[in-house]
């Protein structure tokens, strides 16, 4: 590793930046962005809450009164 020791601060920062971002690609970033947008715009939570509310109302309506 004598080559790495010879790098100045700017070169070392650039090299570390290259190593950290080497595994990333625009496809990964775009896919993650699309997944976050889809999750934010999804009605799944509304559907789940509506189902819970309907189940609770059904249980209240049909419970036995003593």
pLDDT tens readout for residues 23-50: 666 677 788 877 877 777 778 888 999 9
Copy the structure tokens of residue 54: 């309907």
Q: What is the pTM of this model?
A: 0.40
For the chain, report the end-to-end CA distance as a whole number of angstroms: 82
Number of domains in the chain: 1
Question: Residue 12 sits in which domain range?
Answer: 7-61
Res 23: pLDDT: 65
Q: Is residue 41 part of a domain?
A: yes
The reply to whether 36 falls in a domain is yes
Considering the domain boundaries, does residue 2 fall inside one?
no
Question: Is there a domain that residue 66 lies in?
Answer: no
> What are the angstrom distances between the C-alpha of 64 and each of 21, 30, 34, 60, 61?
63, 54, 48, 9, 9
């Amino acid at each position: 590793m004598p080559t790495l020791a010879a790098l100045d601060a700017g070169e070392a920062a650039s090299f570390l930046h290259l190593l950290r971002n080497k595994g990333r690609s625009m496809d990964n970033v775009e896919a993650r962005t699309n997944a976050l947008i889809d999750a934010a715009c999804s009605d799944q939570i509304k559907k789940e809450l509506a189902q819970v509310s309907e189940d609770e109302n059904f249980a209240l309506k049909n419970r036995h009164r003593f």
